Amino acid sequence: MAQTQYKNSKKHHKHINNPFPSAPKSLPLIHSKLSFNDEKLSHSRDFSIGENFILTWAPTNGDEEKQPTTRGGYLSLSHQSELDKAIWSTVPGEAFISGAAVETEVEESRGSFAIKDGEVMFISRHQTIEKILSLYKSDLELESKGREYNAIFGDSYTDHEWNHFPIVVITGLLFCTKNVPKSRKRLSVTVQYWFLLEQKNSTQVSFSVNFGEYNYKLETRPPQKSKFYYKSSKLHLRRPRSYFSAFSMNYKEEEQVNETLNLKGFGEFNRVYVTFASETDERFYGFGEQFSCMEFKGKKVPILVQEQGIGRGDQPITFAANLVSHRSGGDWSTTYAPSPFYMTSKMRSLYLEGYNYSIFDLTKHDRVQVQVYGSHAKGRILFGSSPVDLIESYTETIGRPPPLPNWILSGAVVGMQGGTGAVHQVWDQLQDFDVPISAFWLQDWVGQRKTIIGSQLWWNWELDHMHYYGWKELVNDLTDHNIRVMAYCNPCLAPPVDGCASVLISSPCSISLLFSSALILSHRLRASPLAHTRCTSSLLALVSSVDRVNTEGFFCGPRQHRGSLCCGPRQHRCSSLCGPRQHRSVSVLWTATTPPPHLLAHTQ
């Protein structure tokens, strides 16, 4: 089976690392052919998707005079209000669905990741379209179709809320071949796929890709013909001689292939590729919080939550960061908060659903290829006439951040470190210049530890009374001047003693108060150890619960320190963080514990 191997790098224990770590290897953009059932799809046809969208099938490339031999066909999706504008279309004559089975290695070091593709077990190079079906509510209610629809929609299709009909389903086959090593055998793999298009609302169409059973066939390759080569021999003290030599490739097989070979051992798809058309002058924007690029045409954009990086390619700082901490320098694409969403200058937009790692390949001028690391893929295609329309449609589904409170817009938010004395010094300087201040953000309220790369925080989330002596007086003084105090916290806990690999919550302390009724702690936080220079921290488990958990007193205990950034009474519903598929959901769930801005306006 094609497997994913996770490796926690120990290179961070070295004093010196490679300052120029190699870029992770990934598969290039793949090309596959498309063919279709001539009997059923020989003519152009429109298919309604819900009430607002039209899918057009054309069996040719649309220009018979220039390329009359192109018979691959293409699909085009439009909104009823603008039928002449395609919001999504495929590349004529080329597959829009592909799959692959690839060995994968994931290396992690201090929150930086390298995902490397290894051996390719097989990859599809040909797609067929056998049927394009329009399904109505009455079709889904037929019990005789239950088994078939389970394969198309998933086992829970009966629980799904189908609000817009018809639904369009495209089905066909993917073909793969692979030569068996040390034999004259060839493995052929055929996989059925379903491509589902469903209207979600007046501006969104969801798409999903699912695969059926894998059919394996082992066949004998035809023997190759004999080959001849011309060889010139140069011997000293003799004239050059030339001669012909022949050899036959009809060799005996080095080993007999066992006919009872477990063919499924060659693997199943763990990659899904969705390919669609793009225009040469089309510019791409989005992909979450990106620090190096504004426009992404011509790039491969990975969507993975990880450390942003120190330097991100700028020298010599990236060199220095990588030297003392493996891969900590990052590159142009590393970011804390990526998002599998884009919109273009042609007012096209698409985003993926789910938490699987994905790559958006925009390196070709005429197409986009989205690679999803998983056995299925799901996303949505958006319609809009302006960037505002597209953003409104996007946030209508995923949620919108609440508006910022007025107080945070009343002046500067001063982010700084250094302790009580440093805060007073900076405050005095800003007052001398009449700078309006809305808040001081004191990231190092927990104190600082000295490491090989400088100062880092103690992730025990307890106030450092030595670093911030007179904390209550400082907070009260700032509050009297309508200045808030903001703090910092993340979902990691570090031991107070360096070298300890985990945190054991075994005695009453402010940590237990800190996360009281907010997070459910495991008895031993050994599941997710993360290395950070000289210390190791553990990731808190946000556990699913039927009851809502209360984050009152999230910082510094309930009402323990007036003026610190407390959540106050607020309800949150958390989900499980189990397994590698939940990696990206950590950031989502942790964001959910952030207090709403209107509560931040009041001190506890």
Would you place residue 108 in the very low, low, confident or very high pLDDT band (cuts 50, 70, 90)?
Answer: confident
Reading phi first (left if > 0) and then psi (alpha if -120 to 50, else beta), residue 579 is in left
For the entire predicted model, the pTM comes to 0.79
DSSP per-residue string spanning 246-286: EE-S-PPPSSPPPTT--GGGG----EEEEEEE--TT--EEE
pLDDT of residue 265: 52
Specify burial of residue 101 (Cβ count, 10 A radius: 0-12, 13-18, 19+). buried
pLDDT of residue 447: 87
Q: Averaging pLDDT over each range in 19-33, 82-96, 241-255, which range is the top one? A: 82-96
Half-sphere exposure of 395 (CA within 13 A, CB side): 10
Q: Structural domains in the chain?
A: 4-14+23-29+96-220+263-398 (2.60.40.1760), 406-600 (no CATH)
Please give the mean pLDDT across all residues of the chain: 77
List pLDDT tens digits, range 409-466.
999 999 999 999 999 999 999 999 999 999 999 999 988 877 666 677 877 788 889 9
pLDDT of residue 472: 93
Cα distance from N-terminal residue to C-terminal residue, the chain:
55
Q: Which of 112-116, 151-155, 186-190, 263-267 has the lowest mean pLDDT?
A: 263-267
Task: List the one residue out of 130, 127, 128, 124 whose CA is nearest residue 188.
Answer: 124
Task: Please provide residue 507's backbone torsions phi and psi, each rounded to the nearest 5 degrees.
Answer: -135, 150
Two tokens, residue 177 = 């071949």
Q: Which of 110-119, 168-177, 248-257, 537-546 has the lowest mean pLDDT?
A: 248-257
Q: Please report which helix (H) or strand (E) contains residue 442, including its range.
A: strand 437-442
Residues 6 or more apart from 125 whose CB is under 8 A from it?
Answer: 30, 31, 32, 33, 98, 175, 176, 177
Neighbouring-strand partners of residue 56 = 46, 76
What DSSP state is assigned to residue 335? B
Reading phi first (left if > 0) and then psi (alpha if -120 to 50, else beta), residue 111 is in left
Half-sphere exposure of 222 (CA within 13 A, CB side): 3
Q: Find the largest Cα–Cα distance for the chain.
A: 104
Do you find a cis peptide bond into 316, omega within 30 degrees of 0? Answer: yes
Helix residue ranges per DSSP H, 449-493: 471-480
**Percentage of residues in the chain having pLDDT higher than 90:** 46
**Residue of higher predicted confidence among 97 and 257:** 97
Q: Averaging pLDDT over each range in 128-137, 360-369, 485-494, 523-532, which range is the top one? A: 360-369
- Rounded to whole angstroms, the Cα distance separating 554 from 540 reads 14
Task: List the one residue out of 117, 33, 107 whose CA is nearest residue 73.
Answer: 33
- Rounded to whole angstroms, the Cα distance separating 267 from 468 reads 57
SS (H, E, C) 40-74: HHCCCEEEEECCCEEEEEECCCCCCCCCCCCCCCE
Q: Which of 90-99, 279-288, 347-356, 517-526 has the lowest mean pLDDT?
A: 517-526
CB 179 within 8 A of CB 196: no
Mean pLDDT of 307-315: 89
pLDDT score of 184 more than 80: no
Neighbouring-strand partners of residue 529 = 538
CB 492 within 8 A of CB 539: yes
pLDDT score of 127 more than 50: yes
Neighbouring-strand partners of residue 33 = 94, 126
The radius of gyration of the chain from alpha carbons, rounded to an integer in Å, stands at 30
Task: List the one residue out of 371, 288, 376 whose CA is nearest residue 117.
Answer: 371
pLDDT of residue 10: 55
Tally the residues of the chain: 604
pLDDT of residue 267: 66
The amino acid at residue 542 is: L
Two tokens, residue 466 = 């030595």
3-state secondary structure (DSSP) of residue 452: coil
- Rounded to whole angstroms, the Cα distance separating 372 from 199 reads 22
Q: Averaging pLDDT over each range in 321-325, 366-370, 560-564, which range is the top one? A: 366-370
